Structures are given as C-alpha cells and as structure tokens.
C-alpha cells in the first residue's frame, strides 16, 4: 500500500485529501505543522509527500529543502502545493519534484500519486 504524507495548515483540505486517498486504498498521515511533519516522516516513511508552501508561520519550501538534503529521504517525491502561482516557477529551487496550484483538483492529485517516483 502506498503511503502519503500531507502537510498543510488548511484543516478542510487535509480532511478532503485524507478521505480521497483513503477511499482509493492509500495509507495517509496528515499534519498542520512542518515540525510535526518531520517527526512523522521518520516513522511513517511515506512514498510521496504533499507539502503546502506556507504552513502557518512555517515555510514548506524550507522543509522540502531539509528533506532533500538528508540522504535517507532525498529519494522521496515531494509535491509543493500553494495558491501562490509563483510557486510554479520556484519549486525546483527547493528540490521539489512537482508543484500543484490551489484550488486542487482531485483528479490531478490522483494522477500525481499514480506517477509516484516518475514525477520529474
């Protein structure tokens, strides 16, 4: 079963994404904090991470950079998400594999999960 970690400060979005992926047979972990996301990452070992660029006062881009700098996690695909469309121009600077604009389309999210390691 594919594992997905979702980090976003929008509780409604987390609930919707968790429901979508759970119904499609995925194992899901969610959090509203980058710090907690790093802790979950160590134990949960996701196959894919959806990470908001702005998680409250925390910078998801910097978290992405931290993940990609660690050898044991650098292979994990990270998809940055944001309503800030400038993120589409910046995501690779932080080591992310892909970027998705909000509002999110569930069909797009499922397509991304199916691609998995082939996001580049």
pLDDT tens readout for residues 42-76: 999 999 999 999 999 999 999 999 999 999 999 99
For the chain, which residues make up each domain, given as ranges? Answer: 3-118
Nearest alpha-carbon partner for 34 in 18, 56, 19, 12: 56
* DSSP symbol at 104: P
Q: Are 80 and 51 in contact (CB under 8 A)?
A: yes
Domain 3-118, architecture per CATH: 3-Layer(aba) Sandwich (3.40)
What's the whole-number average pLDDT of the chain?
A: 92
* C-beta atoms surrounding 26 within 10 Å: 18
| pLDDT tens readout for residues 100-109 | 999 999 999 9
Confidence grade of residue 90 (pLDDT, cut at 50, 70, 90):
confident
62 compared with 115, residue with greater pLDDT = 62
**CA–CA separation, 19 and 59 (whole Å):** 25
């Amino acid at each position: 079963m594919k594992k997905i970690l979702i980090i976003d400060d929008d509780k409604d979005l987390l609930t919707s994404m968790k429901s979508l992926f759970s119904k499609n047979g995925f194992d899901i972990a969610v959090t509203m904090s980058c710090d907690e996301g790093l802790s979950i990452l160590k134990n949960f070992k996701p196959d894919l991470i959806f990470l908001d660029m702005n998680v409250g006062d925390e910078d998801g881009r910097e978290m992405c950079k931290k993940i990609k700098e660690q050898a044991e996690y650098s292979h994990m695909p990270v998809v940055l998400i944001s309503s800030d469309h400038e993120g589409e121009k910046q995501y690779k600077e932080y080591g992310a594999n892909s970027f998705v604009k909000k509002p999110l389309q569930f069909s797009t999210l499922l397509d991304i999960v199916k691609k998995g390691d082939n996001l580049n």
